Amino acid sequence: MASGPIEIEIDSRRVRDALARLAAHSSNLRPALTEIGEVLIESTKKRFETSEAPDGTPWAANRPATRKHGIDKPLVGETRSLANLINFDVGSDRVSIGSPMEYAAMQQFGGTKSEVPHLWGNIPARPFLGLSAADEREVLDIIEAHLAEALGAR
């Protein structure tokens, strides 16, 4: 018996087809990324209903002056502009979630009157963008489903 490397060549149409699907799928992540973007938009919009950050911590309540104007829920004004204008952008290898609203970053990270003098007062951070534990599971499920599809397991 000769010693040395062992080579096995598999000539299976199913294997070749699955590898071709995987290669095609791997070179075009847009379908999976688009699905991920759609899921993250929905979970982000739900945060405006639950008033919770992605990590589950509650947002700071509105101040009495804001509540006096009939706005009880944080980040939810009469027009719901911030919640309604959450969008995503897909690139070849990434998906970004955000808002075009000028004040979105201030709401996400907070700010002080000393940093931004035209504010009425200090703004507490109320993170609405991010990945919750449930989001992470759903994103992993999406990726797994797309990989399974590429391998013909679906």
pLDDT tens across 97-138, in order? 888 888 888 899 898 888 888 877 888 999 999 888 899 889
Domain that holds residue 86: 14-150
Q: How many Cβ atoms from other residues are within 10 Å of residue 130's Cβ?
A: 15
* Structure tokens belonging to residue 15: 């294997």
pLDDT higher than threshold 60 for residue 15: no
Residues 61 and 104: their CA atoms lie apart, in Å, by: 17
Alpha-carbon distance 138 to 33, whole Å?
A: 12
Residue 3 covered by a domain: no
More confident residue, 141 or 65: 141
In a domain, 123, yes or no: yes
What confidence category does residue 5 fall into, taking pLDDT thresholds of 50, 70 and 90?
very low
pLDDT digits (tens, 9 = 90+) for 45-85: 999 999 999 999 999 988 776 666 666 777 876 567 888 89
For residue 85, which amino acid is it?
A: L
Kindly state whether residue 5 falls inside one of the protein's structural domains. Answer: no
Rounded to whole angstroms, the Cα distance separating 59 from 126 reads 5
- Does some domain include residue 2? no
Residue 8 lies inside a defined structural domain of this protein: no
Is residue 130 domain-resident? yes
- Whether 31 has a pLDDT exceeding 70, the answer reads yes
pLDDT given at position 33: 87
31 lies in a domain? yes
20-39 average pLDDT score:
78
Number of structural domains, the chain?
1
Q: Round to whole Å and give the CA distance between 154 and 143.
A: 13
Residue 100 maps to a domain: yes
Q: Which two tokens stand for residue 139?
A: 């994103």
Q: Which candidate, 99, 92, 115, places its Cα nearest to that of 27?
A: 92
- The CA-atom distances, in angstroms, between 125 and each of 55, 103, 135 are 13, 12, 21
Angle at alpha carbon of residue 11, lines to 8 and 16, rounded to 5°: 115
